[in-house]
Amino acid sequence: MALNWFKKLKSGLSKSASKVEGAIASITGKKTVDQETLDNIEEQLILADLGIEVAARITKKIKDQKFEIKDKKEINQLDISTTLASEIEQILIPCEKNLYEDISSSPHVLFLAGVNGSGKTTTAGKIAEQFRLQNKSVILAASDTFRAAAVEQLKTWGNRVGAEVVFGTDGGDSAAVAYKAFQLAKDKGVDIVIIDTAGRLQNKKDLMEELTKTCRVLSKLDPNAPHQKVVVLDGTVGQNAHSQLKSFDEAIGLTGMIITKLDGSAKGGVVVSLAEKFKIPIHAVGVGEGLDDLQSFEAVSFSKALVGLDD
């Protein structure tokens, strides 16, 4: 990962990291990792939202490593941080998957879903920018016909990244907008269609069914469409992201996730607990509101940043 990107990730995750770092710092002057330190580390990992099971497992690994110092020297904090980062890395590596890896169809349809305000529209714009940089043409579909300002918001992104925006009428059929966008992309030979959907709470059954319907309608034009179904999760909500992921996966069968707002989240560890529990690919993380604030997910860098280590 480029150094400035890592710096951004690390500073974004610093609130999460400071909890863990504090716990590790509590061993200062000690010659062995005692139970009090282990308990403290476990507690801080839980507070950083890594989840109870992951926290317990990682703490046990640290215990098993036996950082006993025989020649009267103190335990090196860096050794513990490194152990911690490598344990986290083991959990994250199987989920690392570049968003742009599986683009083989043309047009390729990328479907974004998530709860209200999780960052879908912003992420749609950021992804469109990444495709623009890869010289791929993009259509943005404003399938959010629910919120009045949604089309305008997507149009602003469309202007910034030079992508056409397809939209319908306010309160109109969101599946129809998605279909229209896909059809237009086919007609014009456009490479990528990004479908921005309305935010919906994961426990609203009818709204979740609307997503299923939109996917089904898209598959009429290509049985494999949408080719990617990605949930956008707000990285500041912590463990609530679990129930969101589960519901969206049950509704549409997710191919991946993107976690936003990791700039300044104190709950960045949730990425680890999501990876551990769901084993669904993590494509990218949002680290700001700007055009280029979407980073491809890299397990090694993320693990280091989460425990406050340098890349």
Ligand X SMILES: Nc1nc2c(ncn2[C@@H]2O[C@H](COP(=O)(O)OP(=O)(O)OP(=O)(O)O)[C@@H](O)[C@H]2O)c(=O)[nH]1
Stretch that binds Mg ion, among 66-74, 120-128, 228-236, 247-255 (CB under 5 A): 120-128
Q: Is 158 in the site for ligand X (CB under 6 A)?
A: no
Q: Which residue is nearest to ligand X (CB)?
A: 199
CB of 154 to Mg ion, least distance (A): 7
Which residues make Cβ contacts (< 8 Å) with residue 286, sequence separation at least 6? 119, 122, 123, 126, 235, 258, 259, 260, 261, 262, 263, 293, 294
N-terminal to C-terminal alpha carbon distance within the chain: 8
Nearer to ligand X, 286 or 308 (CB): 286
Buried b (16+ CB within 10 A) or exposed e, 174-200: bbebbbbbbbbbeeeebbbbbbbbbbb
Question: Does residue 261 bind ligand X (CB under 6 A)?
Answer: yes
The residue from 147, 155, 180, 277 that contacts ligand X (CB under 6 A) is 147
Is residue 289 a contact point for ligand X (CB under 6 A)?
yes
* Residue 257 CB contacts under 8 Å (≥ 6 apart), including other chains: 230, 231, 232, 233, 245, 274, 280, 281, 282, 283
- Binder of Mg ion out of 37, 44, 118, 121 (CB under 5 A): 121
Q: Which stretch binds ligand X (CB under 6 A): 38-46, 207-215, 240-248, 288-296?
A: 288-296
Cα distances (Å, whole numbers) of residue 256 to 24, 141, 245, 248: 33, 19, 10, 11
**Contact map string, positions 100 to 119, toward ligand X, x by CB under 6 A:** --------------x-xxxx
Site for ligand X in 161-200 (CB under 6 A): 198-199
What are the DSSP E strand ranges found in the chain?
108-113, 138-142, 164-167, 192-196, 228-234, 256-260, 282-286, 294-296
Which CB sits closer to ligand X, 44 or 121?
A: 121
Number of residues that bind Mg ion (CB under 5 A): 2
Closer of 263 and 298 to ligand X (Cβ):
263
The residues binding ligand X (CB under 6 A) are 114, 116-122, 144, 147, 150, 198-199, 260-261, 263, 286-289, 293
